[in-house]
């Protein structure tokens, strides 16, 4: 069983786009500013394994593969507990930057099966994860 999720958010950040890019491409240091990213292991120059846990007591193991590190669009492929991509598009604004976050993933196995009943809860859990990301990025600004 597999289920597809599509997420999109737009944030205004008090930090210039270049500085936000520098933070987002520095995957190894995500746990310093993004509380829901519990651990990161660098696998290669382009790949890292993240262990994430949001509000629900369940760890996700996700392998990120860098697709683009250049402004305006940063993108990673996702594999592991989630299969798909995450994309950040950054544009300068007078007060910092605007970030558009897009993610499309497929979940399989037990998580995919659980999605049939728990989709609203899993979507809420994702929102909590991204709230942590947004707060962390704002605090860095």
State the DSSP string of 3-25.
EEEEEEEEEEESS-HHHHHHHHH
**What number is the average pLDDT over the span 74-103?**
98
DSSP, collapsed to helix, strand or coil, labels residue 41 as strand
Q: Provide the domain limits for residue 39.
A: 2-140
The answer to whether residue 125 scores a pLDDT higher than 80 is yes
pLDDT digits (tens, 9 = 90+) for 61-84: 999 999 999 999 999 999 999 999
**Cβ neighbours, 10 Å, residue 57:** 6
Mean pLDDT value across the chain: 96
Total domains in the fold of the chain? 1
CB neighbourhood size of 97 (10 A): 23
Residue carrying structure tokens 């995450």:
86
Tens digits of per-residue pLDDT, 21-43?
A: 999 999 999 999 999 999 999 99
Whether residue 2 has pLDDT greater than 90:
no
135 pLDDT above the threshold of 90:
yes
User: Which position has the token pair 């205004």?
Assistant: 12
Say which CATH number the domain at 92 has. Answer: 3.30.530.20
Neighbours of 89 (CB within 10 A): 16
What proportion of the chain, given as a percentage, has pLDDT over 70? 100
- Confidence bin at 109 (pLDDT 50/70/90): confident
């Amino acid at each position: 069983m597999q289920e597809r999720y599509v997420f999109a958010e737009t944030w205004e950040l008090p930090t210039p786009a270049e500085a936000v890019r520098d933070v987002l491409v520095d995957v190894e240091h995500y746990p310093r500013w993004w509380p829901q990213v519990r651990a990161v292991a660098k696998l290669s120059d382009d790949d890292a394994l993240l262990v994430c846990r949001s509000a629900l007591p369940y760890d996700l193991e996700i392998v990120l593969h860098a697709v683009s590190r250049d402004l305006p669009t940063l993108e990673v492929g996702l594999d592991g507990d989630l299969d798909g991509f995450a994309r950040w598009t950054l544009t300068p604004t007078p007060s910092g930057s605007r970030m558009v976050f897009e993610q499309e993933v497929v979940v399989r196995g037990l998580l995919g099966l659980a999605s049939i009943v728990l989709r609203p809860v899993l979507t809420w859990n994702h929102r909590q994860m991204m709230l942590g990301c947004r707060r962390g990025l704002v605090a860095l600004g």
